[in-house]
Amino acid sequence: MADAATAVATTEMTVEMIKASQIGMKAISAAIAVGSTGIATAFAEMAIGSAAVGATAENKDVFGLVLLLTVIPETIVIFGLVVSLLLLF
Amino acid sequence: MFNPEQMTRVLIAAPRTQMEPVIRELYRQNLLHVEEFVEQGSEEYEGFRIGTPLPQANEISGKLVQLRGITSAFLIRKEDITPKEKHRQSKLTGLIEEELPSIEKEAEELISRRGQLDTRIREFEQKVESLQPFAGVPFDLELLRGYRMFSVFCGHVAREPVLDLPHEIFSPSGRKEKFIVLLARNQDRSAVEEALVNAQFQAVAVPDENGPAATRIGYYESQIMALKGEMEEINRKLEEIKKNHAEFFLACDELLSADVEMAEAPLRFATTGEAFIVEGWVPSDRMDEFRNGIHYATGGKVFVTEVEPSHERDVAPTEYDNISFAKPTQLLMDVYSRPRYSEVDPTLLVSIIFPIFFGIILGDVGYGAILLALSLGLRKVLTNEEGIQLLKILRNASISSIIFGLLFSEAFGFALPWKSILFSRHLNIGTEVSGHGPEVTSLMVMAIWIGVVQITLGRILGAVNHARQDHGVHRVKAVMANLGWIMVLWGILLMLWGSFAMPTMPDLSGMPAVAAGLNVPSIAGLAMIVAGVLFIASDSALEIVELPTILSHTLSYARLVGVGLSSVAIAMVINFIAIGMIIEPQLGALTPLGVIIIIAGAVVFVIGHLLNTVLGMLGGGLQSLRLQYVEFFTKFYKGGGKKYNPFGMKKRFTED
């Protein structure tokens, strides 16, 4: 609180402005959480996906299984999504 | 219900003279899953050899190969044809002897004639192609070859060649590519060639034909026309044969395949000079039928007995034994792996839990209704067995989606006229701000609760499986380890309850601290964790490494809410863009342009929601399936059961 008070004193920020900027920081954090985990998932699924296509070309029966293997790294982005939802609401 | 069909191991011993009636009866019953005999020198099978096929095997195989050749040439496939009537086997056997060879002969002749015609046509087409460049040359082709003193050059050029030697050049006008015929003296040949190279000359061979090229082309084209006419006639005849006899071919195929399978069955038996033995599995509740059938067919000359299976060697095949509601889910089980015979069969559990998870993720009346209509409408298109099973799974899932849509009060992202009965998922995107926004924390805790319950259930089933499958000390330890996993999970929960207040979880944080700042529930939780870890470690110390999966697997259930909320968010964004941003501003003052914009808005609305339906179906289906496969099954399920594949055939085109 002391920091906030000095901030108000030196740059003449109102409490509303600080609140608004905190909301902004939350939004940015949420965006980083979803964005970075999304990239991580994409990298993981890239490798699995190409292997999955190869396996399906060899044997069509494994399609169901490899489709499932491909969505396994989706956990990463879902955790990111959960974190950002908790941040926002 | 939670167990596969119970199987009995049977052994049939009979004199060799009874081999054919026994095989015939086994095939008719379609009950015995034959365990193939392998010569590996085991004591009780000393002196036994693998049997040899019945004498007629070669002849029938030959017929079958010939028939298959015809059916594949006709592109007749079993799946495409629904039998109108069943052919009687006795009648069919006669027809195979009398009629089939003549039809086959006719078809074969037509097919080989068609092949010849095809070659001729291609030959003539090539000739036409080689004649084509000379089409504009008015003189006879034989004038272009056979000179001793002169050289003839024919070909395409990029531009007119520049030559200051005596020569004659002809180039037919009016063609896009410049084609020349050039006549020069032999002694000037190298100079001419150089000039032609400069003009980017590409030589064309003079066809071995007489008369003007255009006439020859006309001749060949009329020949091709005639051949094609003949070919069409043949195709029409073949099509007629296909139409009239397709079902007959398939019936013959079925009968001959059955005969071949029967004739080759002795390859799976153990035989001596005078006797043979078959071992296999029969569903226990049909044992009497099996025994009586064999007895009746052989006049009691065959010995059938039940054998006590040994645990190490004899693995019974698995046949599902589910109520009809759970049957479609067997498809999802087979994608993962068929349960082993001794294992708990979780098909019924999955058939209940999967639609519920799907509904929680895609809880929307509108999307649920679209998917329900889709699953009912596609029944006409997807008629194979797997397709129907898949549609039934989708139907159950979409009904669950509608129910949860009513509970969440959602249709296409809009709120229904009541408040959500479960926790609210409305995100307040755009102008449509109503209510208090999503109750994300409560929803998350609900998802975690679901996870805790399912994982606990999985561990209990794990204990049951180990109690059934293992023996001796390991059995006790394995059961205790599963108990240990449950204790660690609930111990962590107890500690959390003792330390923090959370929505929809018991709040024990108010209790006074007893020791080291921990209150009673926290201490109890800690004790459970320690005891649980000890149980796990006593079974296998390596398992300790897996402890963090308790957290990650439980938290993984948060996807039920996360994926669901993202689907709600997309729906609301579509509504906001289509209605709030495109349609509504136009409604104030309607102009002709405004009407077009409103139509565009409606298109955005429809395409957006269709896209979100597909996304929701994929997301909801795959994520909830993944929760079963990864989070649930890893706790207890091994799979890898043998499919129960009885000796015999489901007859589609024939009958006895």
Q: How far apart are CA B280 and CA B269, in angstroms?
A: 10
**Cα→Cα distances B517→B107, B499, B502, B509, B510, Å:** 92, 10, 20, 12, 12
Q: Judge whether B645 and B75 are in contact, CB under 8 Å.
A: no
CA distances from B343 to B68, B529, B540, B626 (A): 41, 28, 21, 21
Tell me whether residues A86 and B629 touch, CB distance under 8 A: no
B271, two tokens: 């035989």
Q: What is the CA radius of gyration of chain B?
A: 39
Q: Long-range contacts of range B503-511, CB-CB < 8 Å, 24 or more positions apart?
A: B503/B441, B503/B442, B503/B445, B504/B442, B504/B445, B504/B446, B504/B449, B505/B445, B505/B449
Nearest CA in chain B to A67: B622
CA distance B56 to B59: 6
Residues composing chain B = 656
> What is the distance, to the nearest Å, from the Cα of residue B108 to the centroid of all Cα atoms in its chain?
34
CB–CB of B483/B535 below 8 Å? yes
Dist. CA B328–CA B491, nearest whole Å: 38
Q: Do residue B444 and residue A89 have CB atoms under 8 angstroms apart?
A: no
| Spatial distance between the Cα atoms of B139 and B135, rounded to a whole number of angstroms | 10
B629/A68 CB distance under 8 A: yes
Report residue B178 CA to chain centroid gap: 56
**Side chain identity, residue A29:** S
- Nearest residue to B282 via CA among B313, B266, B304: B304
Q: What is the pLDDT of residue B505?
A: 79
Q: What is the pLDDT of residue A55?
A: 93
Q: Note whether B534 and B487 are within 8 A (CB).
A: no
Q: How many H-runs (helices) and E-runs (strands) does chain B carry?
A: 17, 16
Q: How many CA atoms lie within 13 A of B551 on its CB side?
A: 6
Shortest CA gap B494–chain A (Å): 23
ipTM score here?
Answer: 0.75
Interface contact B562-A75, CB threshold 8 A: no
Does residue B319 contact residue B345 with C-beta atoms inside 8 Å? Answer: no
pLDDT at B225: 92
Question: Residues in chain B with pLDDT < 70?
Answer: 173-177, 428-436
Q: Are B128 and B221 in contact (CB under 8 A)?
A: yes
- Report residue B147 as tokens: 């000179």
The two beta strands, B202-203 and B150-157, are: antiparallel
User: Does residue A31 sit at the B interface (CB-CB below 8 Å)?
Assistant: no
DSSP state at residue B302: S
Interfacial residues of B (vs A; Cβ cutoff 8 Å): 335-336, 437-441, 444, 552, 555-556, 558-559, 561-563, 565-566, 622-623, 625-626, 629-630
User: Are A71 and B626 within 8 A, CB to CB?
Assistant: yes
Q: What is residue B432's predicted lDDT score, i.e. its pLDDT? A: 55
Nearest to B562 among A65, A68, A82 (CB): A82
> What's the CA gap between B549 and B541, in Å, rounded?
15
Q: Roughly what angle, to the nearest 10 degrees, separates helices B559-575 and B592-626?
A: 170
* DSSP assignment string, B441-459: HHHHHHHHHHHHHHHHHHH
Q: How many Cβ atoms are within 10 Å of B183's Cβ, its own excluded?
A: 17
Q: Is A71 part of the contact surface with chain B (CB cutoff 8 Å)?
A: yes
Query: B375: Cβ–Cβ under 8 A, 6 or more apart, which residues?
Result: B391, B392, B394, B395, B398
Structure tokens at B212: 């003007």
The percent helix, strand, coil of chain B (3-state, each to 5) is: 60, 10, 30
Q: Choose among B332, B397, B361: nearest CA to B637.
A: B332
Confidence of residue A8 (pLDDT cuts 50, 70, 90): low
A17 close contact with B: CB closer than 8 A: no
Q: Quick check: helix, strand or coil at residue B136? A: helix
Q: What is the pLDDT of residues B118-161, one digit of tens each?
A: 999 999 999 888 888 888 788 888 888 888 888 888 888 888 88
Closest CA to B376 of B359, B394, B351: B394
- Tokens 């993202």 sit on residue: B566
A33-89 pLDDT tens trace: 999 999 999 999 999 999 999 999 998 878 777 887 888 888 888 889 888 888 887
Per-residue 3-state assignment (H helix, E strand, C coil) for B601-654? HHHHHHHHHHHHHHHHHHHHHHHHHHHHHHHHHHHCCCCCCCECCCCCCCCCCE
| Structure confidence at residue A54 (pLDDT) | 93
Residues B380 and B340 sit within 8 Å (Cβ to Cβ): no
